[in-house]
Structure 1
Amino acid sequence: MDRELERKIKRMTDEGLKDLDFNSELKGKVRQKIKRDKPYRRRWYAPVISLLIVVLLLFIFAVVKGENLGFIGNEWLSGFFENSKNFDIEINASHGPSVSTFDGTITREDVVKPLSFTKDERDRIFAKIESIDFEGGLDLPDDKGCNMQPYGGYEVKARIKGDVYEYRSSGCHTTADSRALDELWEMMLEMIGNKPGYEEMVEPYLIM
């Protein structure tokens, strides 16, 4: 509708009907009839919102299916969020490299490298941790009465579903629990050794 005609009709509505018994509601309906609909205009931020939604979906997929999405997935993210629900383990060994999922590293003397495990590897590690009675206490050898040079000592820190446990094994002799820690540590080193660039990190220390 022509704008000049709109103004004339509006003026006629306001002035011509002012003495009649038209309430505000009726006048509003008349004005609504002559109101011109504004043409649709796409907002500038619409593409930005669409892009953010796509990025968010990719992030969620990277977390949930990190190891199965190739370059889209992120194994570290997937592992981080899953570990936050289940466990963390840190084994500082006197006879080899130290491994920690608390900060995601493997340390050999002065060399520190970032470390992550696949979902299958984490499941195997967690199954082994659950088989060890961290909650009930571990029977581990101490330094008292040790008549030999200790070998194979550990300092262990484990977080299992929110609870943290710390133990120390001198390596003076062997117990069922120390053998279980040996198996856990060796299993983790085997997994790490199969990762490209980590072969030298998992070699045992030479005894001098």
Structure 2
Amino acid sequence: MGQKKFPQIKENYSFYNNLLAERKSIFTEVIEINKTGNNHNTLESVEEVTHPSATEDKMVLLVDVKVNNHNFFQFKLRYKSFVPTPFFRFDSDGETHRNKVDGVELKDQAITTPHFHKFNENGIEIAYKTDKLLDPKESKALEDINICIIHFFHESNTRLKNDDFPEIKIMSDTLGFKMTKEDPNQNIAFL
């Protein structure tokens, strides 16, 4: 996986830090994940986010869930008029990210999922884990998308109203079968 580098973040790092640090608001109480994403492997929802410095374009929260594995999800904050890619994101599953950053020993460069992504002062995307993601019990609880969205909102300083958080409903317009990669025929003997 190539390392993403964006000069506009390096040149405007204080603005980038402001996007991350300043309070962001969302007004959707229930995020419905029902629509197929662009790559047809995910279901997604796009929610508008308000931020005091995001005046040129809409800031959005994207919530992606794999069609065949609802435990594989991403939360992404994007402000396209500043940078085309999400400027902050969370990956619940997927590939290990390697932070190729000067001064970080090779053994410390691999960041397994789940992890967050943000950009450093050089405009290079880096992955990192919070204390909760490093704690095995906390990390296990964060496999639940509705608990994890709260952690994402805390880490990104995003809120619904005062100090509330949205609920996520996946495929609420269907019969509600939870999708996993488990084989439904495992442990069944065909005679």
Q: Does the pair score TM above 0.5?
A: no
Determine which structure has the larger helix proportion and give its number: 1
* Interval of TM-score (by shorter of Structure 1 and Structure 2): under 0.3
Q: RCO greater where, 1 or 2, for CA within 8 Å and sep 6 or more?
A: 2
Q: Return the TM-score normalized by structure 2.
A: 0.25
Q: Return the TM-score normalized by structure 1.
A: 0.23
